[in-house]
Amino acid sequence: MNDNQNLVLVTGAGGFIGGSLVRELRARGCKRIRAVDVKPIDEWCQRFEDVENLSLDLNLKENCEKATQGAWDIYNLAANMGGMGFIEHNKALCMLSVLINTHMLQAALKNGTKRFFYASSACVYNGDKQKTFEAPSLKEEDAYPALAEDGYGWEKLFSERMCRHFMEDFSLTTRVARFHNVYGPWGTWFGGREKAPAAICRKVIEAKVSGKHEIEIWGSGVQTRSFMFIDDCTDGIQRIMNSEILEPINLGSSEAVTINQLVDIAEDIAGIKLKRNYDLNAPKGVNGRNSDNTLIQKYLHWEPNTSLRVGLEKTYRWIYDQYMAREKGEAGVVRESGIAR
């Protein structure tokens, strides 16, 4: 276990989950944190003055070696990703993220890293097991025989295997978690990379502010998903990193809802009812997916437990503030500790 004095590296730290993980590590007393992202630092979702912040392209092996120098623990969250609209139209770009994890594993080994966490995805699961709308609960074993989400899912599955073989062949301690639809404050909420909870919140806010009480929904609205609040995600990452879990494991909520039910909750929070227009030609992903948490309960006696209503209300309020600030020309996300963009 890291004693809080050893250097911890978080990649993808300029993004939603990475930035939130840095926040969590600081709250837990971690004294030496190196945060790395490809984006310019002033474009990061969250940044912290007491952290070593570096803008590096981790597709390049030399940058991975620079980033990992002296790192005791590595949390590799760097990847090209977004919601279904992004991953459906950027399959090659998503697959190129294999360079990041491969180079990061090599650099970790070279620089003597003790533990390596890899952020995988529920998109690794066999598509044939996700054809029903009844929210099939996916067990870890359901990733094989392999039929992952085209592009993004295959890259994640391959990188999981890389972690396994680096552990088997080189004794590098690796941990792998399969994230299920993470949402919350500080997440992307416009621009094409946002996921369903943020997109729905934004659309409801737009409808309420504009007075045009309509909303476009991708697909039929009966697709089922589970959504994990960001605080549960960062807590789970720490629990898994500090565990003895050797295999990839689900990290997600088991509270499944339809997209229509997700809209219902957002409408209720906003105090509005909207006419629903369904775009059946839009990217919509698999019909049903939920997290089976049997294994994480067995190992950790814990699972993500923030209700969707509670988490979505916090997310809606945050996105509303960002939306109104943007409308007023205050351009950009409110940063941590008064650091503003």
Indicate which residues carry an active-site annotation: 152
Does residue 236 contact residue 251 with C-beta atoms inside 8 Å? yes
Number of H helices, E strands in the chain: 11, 15
Phi and psi for 173 in degrees, rounded to 5? -70, 115
DSSP output for 14-47: TSHHHHHHHHHHHHTT---EEEEESS-GGG-SS-
| d(C-alpha 51, C-alpha 159), whole Å | 28
| d(C-alpha 249, C-alpha 175), whole Å | 9
Q: Residue 319: exposed, middle, or buried by beta-carbon count in 10 A (0-12, 13-18, 19+)? A: buried
Contacts of 216 (CB under 8 A, 6+ apart): 203, 277, 278, 279
| d(C-alpha 142, C-alpha 164), whole Å | 17
C-alpha distances in angstroms, 276 versus 53, 82, 218, 313, 316?
Answer: 43, 24, 10, 21, 19
Cα 73 to its chain centre, rounded Å, is: 19
E strand or H helix at 109, and its extent?
helix 98-110
Name 214's bridge partners.
Answer: 275
The pairing of strands 249-251 and 173-179 is parallel
